[in-house]
C-alpha cells in the first residue's frame, strides 16, 4: 500500500544550491521540475513533482503560479486520472491554523472568525 506523507520539511542545504526539494517525513519528496533548456520562452508557472521513495513508478505533478507549492495544491498522478490535494505551510500546529493559501493565523482568530481567507 502506498502512503503519501502529510508533513514535509524543506531541504535547506539543497535550496542554497538552487535545488528546491521538500522531503516527506517517511516516504515521499516534492521537488521542482527543472525547465527544459529547449523551451522557447520563460514560463510564469513552476511545475512540481511528488515521488514516493519506495515506489519509483509513482509520481504526481502540480503547477503553481507563484513559484513555491505553498498552500493547498492539487497533484495529478501521471498517466492516471487521479488527483489529490496536499497543503504545504509553515504553521505551528499547536497555535496556528493554516489557510488554503498557505498563510497562518492564530487559532483564536480562526475560531472568532476574524479571518476571511480560510
Query: Taking 90 as the threshold, does the pLDDT of residue 114 lie above it?
Result: no
> Torsion-angle region of residue 109: left (phi > 0), alpha (psi -120 to 50) or beta?
alpha
pLDDT for 16 equals 66
Question: Which grid cell is 31?
Answer: 521537488
Q: Tell me the pLDDT tens digit for each residue of 2-28.
A: 678 888 888 777 676 777 888 898 899
Q: Tell me the pLDDT tens digit for each residue of 58-97.
A: 899 999 987 889 889 999 998 888 999 988 888 888 888 8
For residue 89, which of 78, 97, 79, 81 has the smallest C-alpha distance? 97
Query: Taking 80 as the threshold, does the pLDDT of residue 36 lie above it?
Result: no
Model confidence at 56, pLDDT cuts 50, 70, 90, reads confident
Query: Taking 80 as the threshold, does the pLDDT of residue 112 lie above it?
Result: no
pLDDT for 52 equals 92
Amino acid at each position: 500500500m502506498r502512503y503519501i506523507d502529510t508533513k514535509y520539511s524543506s531541504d535547506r542545504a539543497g535550496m542554497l544550491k538552487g535545488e528546491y526539494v521538500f522531503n516527506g517525513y517517511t516516504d515521499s519528496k516534492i521537488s521542482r521540475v527543472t525547465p527544459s533548456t529547449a523551451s522557447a520562452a520563460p514560463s510564469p508557472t513552476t511545475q512540481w513533482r511528488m515521488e514516493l521513495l519506495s515506489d519509483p513508478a509513482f509520481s504526481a505533478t502540480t503547477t503553481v503560479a507563484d513559484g513555491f507549492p505553498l498552500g493547498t495544491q492539487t497533484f495529478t498522478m501521471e498517466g492516471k486520472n487521479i488527483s489529490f490535494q496536499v497543503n504545504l505551510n509553515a504553521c505551528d500546529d499547536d497555535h496556528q491554523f493554516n489557510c488554503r493559501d498557505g498563510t497562518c493565523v492564530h487559532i483564536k482568530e480562526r475560531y472568532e472568525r476574524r479571518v476571511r481567507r480560510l
